[in-house]
Structure 1
Amino acid sequence: MNRIKGSIFFSVFVAMLGLMLIAPIMPPLIRELGLRESHSGLIISLGSITMALMAPVWGNLSDAKGRKPVILLGFIGMCVSCLLFTLTLFGGLHGWLNGGLLLVLLIVTRGLIGGFIPAVLSSSQAYMGDVTEGEERGSGMAIISAANGLGLVFGPAIAGAFTLIGLLWPLYFGIVIAAVAFVVSLLAIPAAKPVIQQKPARINPFQPGLRIYLLAGLVTMISIVTIQVIGGFYFQDQLDLTSEETARVVSFGLMFSGAAMLIVQIIQMKWLKWQPKPMILLGSLFLITGMGLFLISTSLAVYYAAFFMFGIGTGLLMPGFMAGASLSVSKEQQGGAAGLVAAVQGISAIIAPILTTTLYRVDKYIPFVLIAVLVAAMAIMMLGVRKGKGMISYKEFQENQQEVE
C-alpha cells in the first residue's frame, strides 16, 4: 500500500471511527441528562440526515476544488463540531444547560458532525478513483471498504473502553484523533489539481450505470445497520440472555464479521482483483446465507458462523458497489459519484433503524427475511445488467479518461 492509499485508508478509518464513537454512549448520556430515550434517536437520526444531504455537496466540491482541501476541511469541521458537541454535553451534565435549549444544541452540534464527516468519506473515495484505473478499481475500493469496516467495528469497542474512565472520554478521543488525521492528511496526501477546470459535470443518481450500484449500496448498508440495531434484541430473545451476556454475544459477533470483512478485502486487494459485478453477486450469496443461518438456528455457534458469513458478504459488496459507482462515471464525476455513495450510507442510517425496529415488534424474524429478500432482488437486477444497460467496460472507461485528458 503506497503513501496515498495508506493516507486515504487512515482518513476513512478516522471518519468512520468518529461516527461510531457517538452511538454507544448516547443512551446512558441521555438518561444522565434527564432527557427521554426518544431524544437519543432524534439526535442520531437528524445527524444522519445532514450526512445524507451534505455528502453530494462535498463530493461535487472536491471535483471543483480538489480532494485534499475538502478532506482537510472535513477534519477541521469534525474536530470543531465534536468539540462543540462535547461542550454541550459537559454543560448539560453540570447543570449549566437543560430542557429544550440543551436538546436543540445537541441536535445542532450532532448535525454539524454528520455534515462534515462525508467531506472526508466522499473526497477520499473520489481520490481513490483518481489514483486507480479500471482493473485496479476493485482492489482500491476494497481499501476504502476495509477502512469503513474497521471503523464500524472498532468505533464501539474504543468507545466502550474509554467509558471506563468517563462517559465523555470517547468524545475527547474523537477530537484528538480528528486533529491527528488532519496533520497526517496535510503531510501525507499530495495536492492534486481539481479534475474540473470549467463547468462542474452534472451527475444524476438515476443515470444508467450508476443507479444499480447506488441501489446495491443502499441494500448493503441497510443490512449492516439492521444487524447493528436489532441484533442485540434478537439474540437476547432467542437465547434468553442477560443484558451483559447479550452485549458480549453481539460484540463477539461483530468482531467475527469485522474479521471476515478484513480477510476478504485483503484477498481482493492482493490476489482476486475482481470487477464489481462478480463481487456483488458472490457477496449477495454469502449475505443471504448468513441471514438464513440467523433464522434457522438457536445455537450460539451457528450465530457466530452467520456473523462470519455476513462479514464475507458485506466485505465483497462494499468494494463492489463503490468500484461499480466509480467506474460507471467519467473522471470529472468521481467526486459526485463518491458523494452519492456517502449519501446512501446516511440514508440507510435514517431508514433502517425505524423500519426494522417497527417490523421487529410485529415479528422478530421479519427484519432478517426482509434483508434476504432485498439482497436477492438486488442480485437478480444485477444479473440482468448487460453492456450498454448499466455498466461500462474497462475499454470504454479508458476511452472516457483519454477524452477528458
Structure 2
Amino acid sequence: MTTPDSPSAPPADPAPPALAPLMLAAFTGTMGLMAFVSVAGPLTSLLGLEPWHMGVVMAIAGVAWMVMARVWGVQSDRQGRRPILLTGLAGFSLAYAALILFVEAALAWTLAPLLALLGLVVGRAAMGIFYAAVPTVAAAVVADRVAPAGRAKMMAAIGSASSAGLVAGPGLAGLLGDAGLLVPLYMTLAMPPIALAWLWWRLPPDAPAEHVAKPPPNLADARLHAAMGFGFAASFCVAIAQVIIGFFAMDRLGFDAEGAAGSAGTALAIVGASLFAAQTLVRKLDVAPATLVQLGGGLAAAGFALSAAAQSEAVLFFGYAIVAGGMGMIYPAIPAIAANAVEPHEQGAAAGAVGMAQGFGIVVGPLLGTAAYALAPSVPYLVAAAAMAGVVAGSIRAARRGQPD
C-alpha cells in the first residue's frame, strides 16, 4: 500500500483542492453532453439523417476523448494544472456554443444531410477534445493535493457531480422540451462558463512539475496496467448496457419502439441516481481503492447477470440499479489506483492514460455489444458480467502482488 512518504504522496501540507468548482465543471460538462444526446432523435429526423449517422455523431466524442485524455494529462504535468484545466473548459464552452449555432443554421437553411452530418461530427469532436481535459486534470489536481488514503473519496465527490449531470441533462431536456427543441441546449450552455469563472477564481496557480529526464509514463508502463484495465472494462460494460437496453426492451420485454425508448430513458435515469448514491456513500467510507474495485465489480457482475435473466421491466431496472451501484464504487477507485502507483511529476500522464483506456471502452463496447446481441438478447449482459468478474479477479491478483491501491 502507498504510504504518505511514498513517491506518489503529495507535498507536505498541500492546500486542499478547490473541490466545489471542480465538481461544477464535471457536472456542467456531462450535463451538456447528455442534453445533446436527449435531442439527438428529433434532430436526426429534422435534419434528414439516418439513425446510424447520429450514432457516428455520438461516438466521435468518445473517440476524441480517448485520443486527447493523455495529451492533456501530459501537458498539465509540463505546464501546470490550472492553465490546462481552464483551456479545456473554455474550449468545451466555445465548442458547445458553436455546435448549437450550427444546428440552428442547419435547421433554418435546410442544409444537405451530408453537410449537416459533417458539422455535427466536427462539433461533437471538438466538445470531446476539450472536455477530455476536465476529468483528466481534475484527477491530477486531487492527486497533487490529497494524501493517497483520501484520494478515492475526493474522486468520488467529482464522480458524483458527473453522475448528477448524467441525470440532469436528460431531465432538463424533458422539462423544457415543449419550449423548443434547442432550449435545453441553450440552458445547459450557460453553465460551463460559470464553472470556468469559478475555477479561474478558486483554483490557485500551480508550478509545472520539475523537469525529469525520464519521459512520462507510456501505455506500456506496468504500474498503470491495473488501473487502465479496470477503466477499460468499466467503460466497456457501461457502454454495452447503454446501447443494448432499447433493443432488449423490444425483443425480450415486448415493447414497441416508443415504449422501448421510454423504458431506456427511465433505466438510464435510475443508473444516474444509483451512481450518485454510490459515489456519495464512498465519500463517507474509509475503504481502500482495491477493495472498492472488488466490491463494486462483484455488484456490477451480479447486476448484469440479473439483467440478462430479466423477463420484466422491474427486474431489468433493478439489475441496472445494482450495476450502477457497483460502478459508483469502481469509478472513483480507478484514478486513485493510478495516482497511487506513480510519482508526483507523472500524475497528469497517469490520469490521461486511464482516461484513454476508458474512452477506448466507450468506443469498443457498442461495437462488440451489438455483435453479441445478434447471438441472443442476454449475451451482451453475460459478456459484461464476465468482464466484471475478471475485474474482481484482476484486483485480487494485483493486491496479492503488492501493487499500490
| TM-score normalised by structure 2 residue count | 0.90
Name the counterpart of 1:306: 319
| CA distance, structure 1, for counterparts of residue 403 and residue 272 of structure 2 | 29
The counterpart of 1:12, out of the listed 13, 26, 37, is 26
Task: After superposition, give the CA deviation of every residue in 1:24-75 in whole Å (9 maximum; x if it has no partner).
Answer: 2222212211122221112222232111111111111111111121121112
Task: List gaps (5 residues or longer) in structure 1.
Answer: 394-405
| CA distance, structure 2, for counterparts of residue 32 and residue 85 of structure 1 | 16
The counterpart of 2:333, out of the listed 320, 323, 329, is 320
How far off is 1:318 after superposition? 0.6
Q: Which runs of 4+ in 1 moved over 6 A?
A: none
The counterpart of 1:56, out of the listed 70, 79, 83, is 70
Task: After superposition, give the CA deviation of every residue in 1:291-312 in whole Å (9 maximum; x if it has no partner).
Answer: 1211223133322321221121
Maintained 8 Å contact 1:11/1:124 = no
Q: Which amino acid in the other structure matches residue 112 of structure 1?
A: A
How far off is 1:152 after superposition? 2.4
Maintained 8 Å contact 1:63/1:200 = no
Name the counterpart of 1:391: 403
The counterpart of 1:73, out of the listed 87, 91, 96, is 87
Q: Relative to 1, partners in 2 of residues 1:225 and 1:167: Cα closer, same or farther, differing over 3 Å?
A: same
The counterpart of 1:32, out of the listed 46, 61, 75, is 46
Name the counterpart of 1:341: 354
Superposed, 1:5-404 pairs within 5 Å as 5-95=19-109, 97-197=111-211, 201-270=215-284, 272-386=285-399, 389=401, 391-392=403-404
Q: Which amino acid in the other structure matches residue 322 of structure 1?
A: P
Maintained 8 Å contact 1:78/1:175 = no
| CA distance, structure 1, for counterparts of residue 59 and residue 269 of structure 2 | 25
Maintained 8 Å contact 1:8/1:128 = no
| CA distance, structure 2, for counterparts of residue 126 and residue 66 of structure 1 | 10
How far off is 1:286 after superposition? 0.5
Q: Relative to 1, partners in 2 of residues 1:164 and 1:206: Cα closer, same or farther, differing over 3 Å?
A: farther
| CA distance, structure 2, for counterparts of residue 44 and residue 245 of structure 1 | 22
Q: Which amino acid in the other structure matches residue 310 of structure 1?
A: V
Secondary structure at 2:268 match in 1: helix
Q: Which amino acid in the other structure matches residue 164 of structure 1?
A: D
How far off is 1:243 after superposition? 4.0
Q: Relative to 1, partners in 2 of residues 1:312 and 1:111: Cα closer, same or farther, differing over 3 Å?
A: same
Q: Relative to 1, partners in 2 of residues 1:120 and 1:297: Cα closer, same or farther, differing over 3 Å?
A: closer
Maintained 8 Å contact 1:201/1:333 = no
| CA distance, structure 2, for counterparts of residue 169 and residue 358 of structure 1 | 36
Q: Relative to 1, partners in 2 of residues 1:91 and 1:310: Cα closer, same or farther, differing over 3 Å?
A: same
Q: Which amino acid in the other structure matches residue 373 of structure 1?
A: A
Secondary structure at 1:362 match in 2: coil
Task: List gaps (5 residues or longer) in structure 2.
Answer: 1-15
| CA distance, structure 2, for counterparts of residue 100 and residue 368 of structure 1 | 35
Q: Which amino acid in the other structure matches residue 368 of structure 1?
A: Y
Maintained 8 Å contact 2:73/2:136 = yes
Number of equivalent positions: 390
Q: Relative to 1, partners in 2 of residues 1:311 and 1:83: Cα closer, same or farther, differing over 3 Å?
A: same
How far off is 1:200 after superposition? 7.5
